[in-house]
Amino acid sequence: MASNTESVVRSNNGKLPSALKKSGPGKANGHANGAARASEDDLHELLHAMQAMRLGDFSVRMPDDHTGLIGKIADTFNDIVAANERMAHQLERRVEERTAELAQANVDLERRVEERIREREAALAQVHEMQKVESLGQLTGGVAHDFNNLLMAVLGNLGLVSKYTADNPKITRLVEGAIRAAERGAILTKRMLAFARGQELKPEIVDVPKLVGGMVEMLRHSLGPEIEIVTEFRREQLTTRVDPNQLELALLNLALNARDAMPDGGKLVIAGRRETIAAGDMAGLAAGHYICVSERDTGLGMDEATIARAAEPFFTTKGAGTGLGLSIVDGLMAQSGGAMRIKSRLGCGTTIELWLPIWQGAEGTADETRRRRRSTRPSAYNVLLVEDDEMVAAGTTAMLEDLGHIAIEVNSAAAALKFLETNADIDVVLTDHAMPGMSGSELARRIRALWPDLPVVLATGYANLANGFDPQLPRLSKPYKQQELADLISALGADYRQQLACLVHEQPAAE
Which CATH number is 204-357 given? 3.30.565.10
Q: What is the mean pLDDT of the chain?
A: 76
Q: Is the pLDDT of residue 307 over 80?
A: yes
Spell out a b/e string for 137-174, using b for 16 or more CB atoms within 10 Å of the CB, else e.
Answer: beebbbebbebbbbbbbbbbbbbbebeebeeeeeeeee
Domain boundaries, the chain: 204-357, 375-506
474-482: average pLDDT: 81
Q: Give the model confidence (pLDDT) of 120-133 as tens digits.
A: 887 777 677 666 66
Instruction: Say how far apart CA 115 and CA 305 lie, in whole Å.
Output: 20
CB hemisphere CA count around 356 (13 angstroms): 30
Calculate Rg over the CA atoms of the chain: 50
Strand pairing partners for 233?
A: 272
Instruction: Say how far apart CA 219 and CA 227 lie, in whole Å.
Output: 10
Q: Give the model confidence (pLDDT) of 393-410 as tens digits.
A: 888 898 898 888 889 999
What is the CATH superfamily name and number for domain 375-506? Answer: Response regulator (3.40.50.2300)
Q: Is the pLDDT of residue 6 over 50?
A: no
455-481: average pLDDT: 71
Q: 384: closest CA among 475, 444, 456?
A: 456
Q: Give the model confidence (pLDDT) of 85-109 as tens digits.
A: 788 788 888 999 999 999 999 999 9
